[in-house]
Amino acid sequence: MNREKVVFSFFMILALTLNFGFYAGEVSNPEHHNVYELFAVVVVNLIATILKFGDRSQMGAMLLATSLVAVVQLLSASFVWAFAVHIQSGLTPDVMATIVSLSGGAMLANIISVVLLIIETTMMHH
């Protein structure tokens, strides 16, 4: 068993499941989406992205690209949240819908990453 692959797979799947947990709920209701969960999603996605550096294969490039997309989407959601809370008048339903939509885009990128990971695993020869 390759420990590096286990750790990498763990963070990939954790990123997806945390993202789903944040995304689930009524889109425009701030009570259904926790800021600390969004923070956890950002941190885990950053860790997963860092773990992807160094893989020089074509599959590694695709995994890195999907991870970078997820990070951009999640950082954008975080900036929108911070802007709304600290500069504007707070979390309105429109702002919350934007934040959740951005996290949904990141979740789609995470789904693609996990699918690619499964494909890569099934293609491995012993």
| For residue 126, pLDDT beyond 60 | no
For 32, the token pair is 């259904």
- Residue 17 structural domain: 3-123
* CA distance linking residue 44 with residue 101, whole number of Å: 19
pLDDT the model gives residue 70: 97
pLDDT the model gives residue 41: 97
pTM for the model: 0.91
**What is the count of structural domains for the chain?**
1
User: Cβ(45)–Cβ(74) under 8 Å?
Assistant: yes
* CA distance linking residue 50 with residue 52, whole number of Å: 5
Angle (nearest 5°) at CA 72 between 56 and 103: 120
Q: pLDDT by residue (tens digit) across 61-120?
A: 999 999 999 999 999 999 999 999 999 988 999 999 999 999 999 999 999 999 999 998
H/E run at residue 121: helix 93-123
* CA distance linking residue 44 with residue 50, whole number of Å: 10
DSSP character for 31?
A: G
Amino acid residing at 123:
M
